[in-house]
Amino acid sequence: MMARAPKSGFEAPRGRRTGVLVRTPQPSRDRFGRFTEWIARAMGTPAFLLILTLFCVAWIVWNTVAPGSLRFDDAALGFTALTLMLSLQASYAAPLILLAQNRQDDRDRVQIEQDRQRAERNLADTEYLAREVVALRMALTDMQSETVTRDVLRQELRALLKEWDERDPTSSDERP
């Protein structure tokens, strides 16, 4: 078998070099969706709640116990910066969780449709098999009621032989 020279320049289709398909990686269209699901999963864990609680406790302790020059959120004003931080976190968390729920709803909808189609196919297969079983039972019943005995078969064969012998051998339309 003769080896072909590798194509180059305008002879090779775009994206191909020496017989190997070169693909440029495409950014995932669903990267943000996966990110939102990761955030929603992380926020629903005890670890997140523990870390957030420790963060708030550390914030409050630092701004209560630390020297006045190192404090950045005043306890007398009700820890305004902490409240703003938690509000900001909540304002981003809610839409991210809703996005993750919408993605899960879409996946559930697809799964439900696939399950419905599978159930319809199973039902159709079951009905077909039931009809086949009924047909087999009917055929067996008919066979049992029409059982041919040797005597009946012999009589039929004798009748056919008699008919054959009585037939006119000169007629061309009845020759086998």
Domain hosting 42: range is: 30-117
DSSP state of 42: H
In a domain, 43, yes or no: yes
In a domain, 72, yes or no: yes
In a domain, 60, yes or no: yes
Distance between CA atoms of residues 21 and 13, nearest Å:
10
Choice between 4 and 104, residue whose per-residue pLDDT is larger: 104
Tokens of 71: 């404090």
In a domain, 48, yes or no: yes
Tokens of 70: 């190192």
pLDDT in tens, 113-152: 999 999 999 999 999 999 998 888 888 777 766 666 778 7
Domain count, the chain: 1
175: confidence class by pLDDT, cuts 50, 70, 90: very low
In a domain, 37, yes or no: yes
DSSP codes, 98-143: HHHHHHHHHHHHHHHHHHHHHHHHHHHHHHHHHHHHHHHHHHHHHH
- Nearest Cα neighbor of 33 from 84, 100, 92, 97 is 100
In a domain, 81, yes or no: yes
